[in-house]
């Protein structure tokens, strides 16, 4: 009797299918023409698609686009070969829901060593991510780093927004990461894998902005030597991100409103009506309602784009994230081949006490500056930018000599029900300042 081996087991098609159907991960295999060869029971359970409805069909046609989103290697035809890759991904189920999966993809070869297709496994981590968000046991989400309660709230809002197309308006100071959040909303949505097209409305001259957004026909104006698609057309099927939206001139606001209401527009100098399917995310560091009340921003456009507002806190209001962000930027520098010796306690203390008017962008710039200055040594206060070194020379005395006093602190804590973060905001200081004050005066509750 022939000995039973793993090779003989898996060489039998039925046995192999039983093995793959017994896995908790979804398994999808397709050939070089994207024709689906196998779809296991776990894949059915995660996606809602039935095996008999997908096997033998084009992967992109079955799922209405690349199953692997923007990471798909077959969007422009089959690659020469596909190396092993792992990445997070949001997929849409047959019921229109969004599931977060961890995808692992590898190329398959035949006995001759020729590339013949792809084998993908994916694990549903939707509930796991949700649990980590609820418990605060998460340090980053979709490219955003932080676990301050205000940041965890933003993670939850992004997750909530993923299944729908509501317009989102992101507000916050310069450098707080508005484009990063817009990108995260796009990547977590059903439009992931489609274009994400950013436009900085404040960086373009008024005369060019309309053409940049809506495109133009040849001869529409001096210099228009050919037809050109605008950002709306380039974003078709995906997301258009309008940064500094408060800088839009009134004439462009009118055309933008129509494009959002009707999903149609004409290029500059053109007569043909163009239809697009675009999700709009906008951002500004100004008070849009105030701009509207001044007459600088149309009220109908304001209500159209501000359906779901998201406010990003400045870095000084989430100082507990500074050490996480420092590690994140050091890790990125290491990936780029730089020496990253780390920061001394004195340097980290200065960074924690600085107000960061430029927010996360300024923090990143300061870390790059320090890496250059330190030349591979441990980063100390002398290696930091002048703004932070000046802070060391101007350290305020500890204790009640600050502008805080026990009476106002007690009143603020009573008014906010003991919420120290809210109390600090009402007193006009950072949370770290209030915590240090309370530590110096233990008799203040």
Q: How many residues does the chain have?
A: 445
Structure letter (DSSP) for residue 316: G
C-beta of residue 79 within 8 angstroms of C-beta of residue 73: yes
Tell me how far apart the alpha carbons of residues 202 and 66 are, in angstroms, rounded to a whole number: 34
pLDDT at 234 over 80: yes
Mean pLDDT of 385-397: 72
Quick: pLDDT tens for 193-231.
788 999 999 998 887 899 999 988 887 787 877 889 999
pLDDT of residue 222: 78
Mean pLDDT of 168-175: 96
Q: How many CB atoms lie within 10 A of CB 34?
A: 21
pLDDT of residue 181: 96
Nearest C-alpha neighbor of 247 from the set 312, 295, 296, 181: 296
Mean pLDDT rounded to a whole number for the chain: 86
Mean pLDDT of 117-137: 83
The partner residues of 89 in beta bridges, in order of sequence, read 101
pLDDT band at residue 403, thresholds of 50, 70 and 90?
low
pLDDT band at residue 5, thresholds of 50, 70 and 90?
low
pLDDT band at residue 371, thresholds of 50, 70 and 90?
very high
Quick: pLDDT tens for 263-275.
999 998 888 999 9
Identify the H or E element spanning 181: helix 178-188
Quick: pLDDT tens for 54-110.
999 988 888 877 777 667 777 666 777 677 888 877 787 888 777 888 889 888 888
Written as six digits, the tokens of 133 are 């968000």
Tell me how far apart the alpha carbons of residues 47 and 172 are, in angstroms, rounded to a whole number: 37
Written as six digits, the tokens of 335 are 């990936």
Mean pLDDT of 109-115: 85
Nearest C-alpha neighbor of 393 from the set 407, 377, 382, 409: 382
pLDDT of residue 442: 55
C-beta of residue 310 within 8 angstroms of C-beta of residue 157: yes
Mean pLDDT of 168-196: 91
Q: Which residue has the tokens 């990461």?
A: 177
């Amino acid at each position: 009797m022939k000995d039973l081996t793993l090779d003989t087991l898996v060489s039998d098609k039925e046995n192999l299918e039983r093995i793959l159907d017994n896995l908790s991960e979804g398994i999808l295999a397709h050939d070089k023409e994207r024709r689906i060869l196998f779809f296991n029971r776990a894949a059915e359970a995660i996606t809602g698609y039935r095996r008999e409805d997908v096997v033998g069909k084009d992967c992109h046609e079955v799922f209405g686009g690349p199953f692997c989103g923007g990471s798909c290697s077959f969007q422009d035809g089959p690659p020469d070969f596909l190396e092993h890759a792992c990445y997070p991904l949001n997929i849409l189920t047959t019921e229109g829901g969004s599931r977060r999966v961890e995808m692992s993809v590898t190329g398959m070869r035949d006995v001759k060593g020729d590339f013949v297709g792809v084998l993908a496994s994916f694990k549903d981590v939707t509930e796991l991510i949700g649990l980590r968000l609820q418990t605060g046991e998460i340090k980053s989400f979709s490219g955003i780093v932080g676990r301050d309660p205000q940041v965890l709230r933003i993670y939850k809002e992004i997750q909530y927004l993923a299944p729908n197309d509501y317009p989102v308006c992101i507000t916050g100071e310069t450098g707080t990461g508005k484009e990063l959040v817009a990108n995260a909303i796009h990547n977590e949505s059903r439009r992931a894998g489609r274009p994400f097209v950013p436009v900085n409305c404040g960086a373009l001259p008024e005369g060019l902005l309309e053409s940049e957004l809506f495109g133009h026909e040849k001869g529409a104006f001096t210099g228009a030597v050919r037809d050109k698609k605008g950002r709306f057309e380039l974003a078709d099927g995906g997301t258009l991100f309008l940064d500094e939206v408060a800088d839009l001139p009134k004439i462009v606001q009118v055309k933008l409103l129509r494009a959002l209401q009707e999903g149609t527009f004409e290029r500059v100098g053109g007569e043909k009506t163009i239809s697009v399917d675009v999700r709009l995310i906008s951002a500004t560091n100004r008070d849009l309602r105030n701009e509207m009340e001044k007459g600088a921003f149309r009220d109908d456009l304001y209500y159209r784009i501000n359906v779901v507002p998201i406010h990003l806190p400045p870095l000084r209001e989430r100082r507990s994230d500074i050490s996480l962000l420092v590690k994140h930027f050091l890790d990125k520098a290491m990936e780029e081949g730089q020496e990253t010796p780390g920061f001394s306690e004195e340097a980290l203390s200065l960074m924690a006490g600085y107000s960061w008017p430029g927010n996360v962008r300024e923090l990143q710039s300061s870390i790059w500056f320090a890496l250059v200055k330190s030349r591979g040594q441990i980063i100390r206060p002398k290696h930091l930018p002048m703004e932070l070194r000046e802070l060391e020379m101007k350290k305020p005395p500890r204790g009640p000599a600050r502008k805080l006093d026990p009476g106002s602190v007690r009143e603020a804590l009573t008014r906010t029900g003991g919420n120290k973060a809210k109390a600090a905001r009402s007193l006009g200081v950072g949370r770290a300042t209030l915590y240090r004050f309370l530590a110096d005066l233990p008799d203040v509750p």
